[in-house]
């Protein structure tokens, strides 16, 4: 029996477990589409009342594509396990992972991907459908290379988001009621990642600050690749920065958890 | 040399005190009074391989905290412990492969999936070969009589059935040391008995070392030759449970029933009045005075019934708890 089998098995269990909550997932897709629809109407109104064809560097079609795809991508990379981790810490469920020969980080990552696989499949399918529709509507060529870069940047975005939330969930070691922090954090990430609006809207100064933070590499950067807003050298350097953030965040996560584990009090029976 | 060795182990927790009410909640926002609870205060013991030892103590006495330190879940504040030759809180993989902890109030099973899925995950976690797994599973399900329940979602199982599954999940890798924290909590008498019988059999068959915490006396009386009684973080007794009373051998209990009412004050001179309602009384009397006082009482009071008894085990333990409590209050 090989050691990695435990993680493969965790993945498969999480996969099966997710199937128990199919309706949940369906509802989350429906609710996610509301905000996209609202944005499309909003931008249509803005563009039709403005004398300019380009607003904040986006044409009308680019803006609509951005709004739709950012909704899809943010769904694709969303985390949502921080509550589970906090609960493990707060109620002492983490104890069993300490007592068993399994690594909590890898357990979480496998359980995360296991729970997300079906969802990701469906969302990716939706993405393809959207792209075909857009290609037909505005006669846009997405190109093979661009699509490959896009997918690669989504994988990095997913990792960045996972690591951010994994690190922040270590706060539960220090603060018992972390729900408020999580909600604030996830709303902050949601906005700063560019899932609501393209970040250019906030002006040059803010954009400069954002480029120093990891958040825009979760949604804003991937969507701009497929949107045709970035030149190829900007795409390559962006991917490198993403990889850099992944490495940096692995260290940060390890640090947060190492100090948290020492504080762990394993409450309850 | 013992398989588990504990020396001067201490654990204290920091916490905040909050008084009742909204006003104090606001006050707590600004300044919180830091408190330290010494959950375990320097305990030492040694356990041999194959022993089955019971930890007995009231709620919050430090039983569970001790088990958590022995399984490496908690870092101690000070002191040393070794299980096999490992320091538990170094959390070495080789150590984890050889022991198991069962927490009656914490489930390690996946709630929405059948138990056999969780069991198979544990097979993978402990890197068991297929054959070792199937034999262990067949044996354990047979012993606990749950073969038919393996394919049922865990959330649909009864508490007793789930506890059995928890035990199987924890024993599937045949651990040499097993920590059981309240394994029978919340179970009915029959299920409690089943689990006790199983543990007894398992301990005899596998020569595994077992530490069991419980506040059900029956669990410990039935299973453990040796009992460690913990109160307020101290070991107050270590030995055979049935001999707890030898500590109190100097005392006897006298139960009296009267035909007429006898006031409490009239009895007080003979010893400590434990219970009194006029027509009945229970007294604790020094053994040396027993004969003399019995005679006096029979002469003096309108006695209907007269019984001399040993102090019951439960009461012995209770007095142990109280005795210790007094000592600490005076220290503080």
What is the tens place of the pLDDT at every residue in B177-212? 999 998 888 888 888 888 899 999 999 999 999 999
Among partner residues A17, A262, A269, which is closest to B75 by beta-carbon distance?
A: A262
With pLDDT > 90 as the criterion, what percentage of chain A qualifies?
Answer: 35
Helices (H) and strands (E) in chain A, counts: 11, 2
Among B191, B216, B246, the domain-final residue is B246
Instruction: Convert the pLDDT of each residue in A110-165 to its tens digit.
Output: 999 998 888 888 888 988 888 888 888 887 778 888 889 999 999 999 999 999 99
CB atoms within 10 A of CB B251: 19
Burial A171-204, CB ≥16 within 10 A → b, else e:
bbbeeeebeebbeebbeebbebbbbbbbbbebee
pLDDT confidence tier of residue B327, bands split at 50, 70 and 90: very low
Average pLDDT of every residue of chain B: 86
Query: Do strands B52-56 and B209-214 pair parallel, antiparallel, or not at all (unpaired)?
Result: parallel
Please provide the average confidence, as pLDDT, over all residues in chain A.
87
Q: Name the DSSP letter for residue B312.
A: P
Tell me if A1 and B127 make a contact (CB, 8 A cut-off). Answer: yes
Q: Cβ contact (<8 Å) for B127 and A9?
A: no
3-state secondary structure of B16: strand
**pLDDT above 70: percentage of residues in chain B:** 95
Residues B60 and B176 in one domain: yes
For residues A106 and B14, the model is more confident at A106
Q: Provide the CATH number for the domain around residue B322.
A: 3.30.70
Q: How far apart are the first and last CA of chain B?
A: 36
Tens of pLDDT, residue by residue over B50-94, are 999 999 888 888 898 999 999 998 889 999 999 999 999 989 999
Residues of A in contact with B108 (CB under 8 A): 96
Average pLDDT of the residues in B1-26: 82
Residue A245 lies in a domain: yes
pLDDT band at B323 (very low <50, low <70, confident <90, very high): low
Q: Which residues contact A147 (CB under 8 A, 6 or more apart)?
A: A226
Quote the pLDDT of residue A247: 96
- Over range B125-141, report the average pLDDT: 93
Look at A5-9, A176-180, B136-140, B203-207 and tell me which has the smallest mean pLDDT.
A176-180
Query: What confidence score (pLDDT) does residue B249 get?
Result: 67
Are both B225 and B314 inside the same structural domain?
no
Q: What is the pLDDT of residues A67-90, one digit of tens each?
A: 998 988 988 888 778 888 888 888
Q: Does B125 contact A93 at a Cβ distance shorter than 8 Å?
A: no
- Residues B253, B235 within the same domain: no
Residue A269 clears pLDDT 50, i.e. is over it: no
At residue A13, does pLDDT exceed 70? yes
Give residue-wise pLDDT tens across range A214-245.
Answer: 999 999 999 999 888 888 899 999 999 999 99
The Cα B139–Cα B223 span in angstroms is 21
- Judgement on whether residues B255 and B241 belong to the same structural domain of the protein: no
Q: Compute CA A229 distance to the chain's CA centroid, rounded to the nearest angstrom.
A: 20
Q: B110 in helix, strand or coil?
A: coil
Which residues in chain B are contacts of A265 at CB distance < 8 A?
13, 74
The H or E element that residue B102 is part of is strand B99-103
Would you say residue A177 lies in a domain? yes
The residues pairing with B10 across neighbouring beta strands, listed in sequence order, are B41, B78
| Final residue in a domain of this structure, among B217, B246, B275 | B246
Cβ contact, residue pair A95, B73, below 8 Å: yes
Q: CATH no. for residue B135?
A: 3.40.50.300
A27 pLDDT more than 90: no
Distance from CA of B122 to the nearest CA of A (A): 8
Contacts of residue B299, Cβ cutoff 8 Å, sequence gap at least 6? none
- Greatest mean pLDDT range, B97-111, B156-170, B257-271: B156-170
**Does residue A101 sit within a domain?**
yes
Q: In this structure, is residue A268 part of a structural domain?
A: no
Does B183 reach chain A within 8 Å, measured CB to CB?
no
Q: Name the range with the highest mean pLDDT among A88-102, A176-190, B160-174.
A: B160-174
Q: With respect to residue A267, please indicate whether it lies within any of the assigned structural domains.
A: no
Average confidence (pLDDT) over B145-170: 92
Do the Cβ atoms of A264 and B113 come within 8 Å? Answer: no
Instruction: Identify the domain containing residue A141 by its residue range.
Output: 2-261
Q: Are residues B144 and B269 in the same domain?
A: no
Which residue range forms the structural domain that includes residue B71?
A: 4-246
Judge if B301 and B314 occupy the same domain. Answer: yes
What does the pLDDT read at residue B167?
92
Count of domains forming chain A: 1
Of A14-18, A21-25, A119-123, B299-303, the range with the lowest mean pLDDT is A21-25
The domain total for chain B is 2
> Of B216, B246, B276, which marks where a domain is finished?
B246
Interface of A with B (CB under 8 A): 1-3, 5-6, 8-10, 13, 16-17, 20, 92-93, 95-96, 98-102, 262, 264-266, 268-269
Looking at the fold, whether B27 and B172 belong to one and the same domain comes out as: yes
B-chain residues near A9 (CB < 8 A): 120-121, 124-125
Q: Which residues of B touch A100 (CB under 8 A)?
A: 96, 122, 125-126
Which residues 6+ apart lie within 8 Å of B245 measured at CB? B310, B311, B312, B313, B316
If asked whether residues B29 and B170 sit together in one domain, one would say yes
Mark whether B236 and B198 lie in a shared domain. Answer: yes
Rounded to whole angstroms, the Cα distance separating B105 from B64 reads 11
Q: Are residues B111 and B126 in the same domain?
A: yes
């Amino acid at each position: 029996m090989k050691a990695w089998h435990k993680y493969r098995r965790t993945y498969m269990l999480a996969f099966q477990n997710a199937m128990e909550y199919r309706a949940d997932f369906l509802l989350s897709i429906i609710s996610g589409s509301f905000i996209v629809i609202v944005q499309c109407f909003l931008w249509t109104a803005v563009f039709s009342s403005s004398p300019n064809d380009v607003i904040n560097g986006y044409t009308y079609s680019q803006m609509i594509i951005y709004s739709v795809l950012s909704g899809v991508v943010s769904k694709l990379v969303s985390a949502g396990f921080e509550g589970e981790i906090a609960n493990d810490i707060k109620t002492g469920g983490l104890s069993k992972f300490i007592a068993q020969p399994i690594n909590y980080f890898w357990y979480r990552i496998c359980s995360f991907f296991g729970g997300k696989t079906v969802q990701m499949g469906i969302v990716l399918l939706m993405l393809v459908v959207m792209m075909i529709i857009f290609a037909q509507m505005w006669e846009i060529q997405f190109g093979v290379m661009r699509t490959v870069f896009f997918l690669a940047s989504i994988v990095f975005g997913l990792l960045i988001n996972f690591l951010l939330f994994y690190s922040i969930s270590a706060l539960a070691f220090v603060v018992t009621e972390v729900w408020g922090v999580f909600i604030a954090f996830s709303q902050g990430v949601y906005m700063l990642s560019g899932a609501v609006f393209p970040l250019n809207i906030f002006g040059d100064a803010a954009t400069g600050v954002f480029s120093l933070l990891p958040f825009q590499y979760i949604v804003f950067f991937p969507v701009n690749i497929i949107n045709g807003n970035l030149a190829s050298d900007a795409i390559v350097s962006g991917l490198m920065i993403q990889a850099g953030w992944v490495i940096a965040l692995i260290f940060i996560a390890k640090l947060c958890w190492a100090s948290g584990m020492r504080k762990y009090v394993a409450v309850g029976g | 040399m013992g398989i588990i060795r504990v020396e001067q182990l201490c654990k204290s927790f920091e916490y905040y005190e909050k008084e009742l009410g909204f006003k104090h909640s606001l006050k707590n926002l600004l300044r919180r009074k830091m408190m330290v609870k010494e959950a375990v205060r320097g305990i030492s013991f040694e356990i041999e391989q194959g022993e089955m030892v019971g930890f007995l103590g009231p709620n919050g006495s430090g039983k569970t905290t001790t088990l958590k330190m022995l399984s490496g879940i908690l870092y101690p504040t000070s002191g040393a412990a070794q299980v096999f030759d490992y320091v538990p809180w170094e959390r070495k993989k080789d150590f984890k492969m050889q022991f198991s902890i069962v927490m009656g109030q914490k489930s390690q099973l996946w709630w929405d999936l059948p138990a056999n899925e969780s069991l198979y995950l544990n097979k993978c976690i402990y890197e068991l070969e297929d054959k070792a797994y199937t034999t262990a599973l067949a044996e354990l399900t047979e012993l606990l009589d749950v073969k038919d329940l393996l394919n049922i979602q865990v959330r649909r199982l009864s508490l007793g059935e789930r506890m059995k599954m928890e035990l199987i999940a924890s024993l599937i890798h045949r651990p040499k040391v097993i920590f059981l924290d309240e394994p029978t909590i919340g179970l009915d008498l029959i299920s409690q008995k089943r689990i006790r019988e199983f543990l007894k059999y398992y301990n005899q068959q596998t020569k595994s070392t077992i530490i069991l915490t419980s506040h059900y006396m029956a669990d410990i009386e039935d299973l453990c030759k040796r009992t460690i009684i913990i109160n307020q973080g101290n070991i107050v007794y270590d030995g055979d449970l049935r001999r707890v009373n030898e500590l109190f051998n100097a005392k006897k209990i006298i139960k009296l029933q009267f035909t007429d009412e006898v006031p409490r004050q009239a009895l007080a001179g003979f010893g400590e009045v434990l219970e009194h309602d006029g027509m009945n009384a229970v007294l604790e009397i020094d053994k040396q005075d027993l004969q003399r006082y019995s005679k006096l009482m029979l002469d003096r009071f309108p006695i209907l019934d007269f019984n001399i008894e040993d102090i019951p085990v439960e009461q012995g333990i209770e007095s142990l708890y109280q005795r210790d409590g007094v000592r600490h209050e005076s220290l503080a």
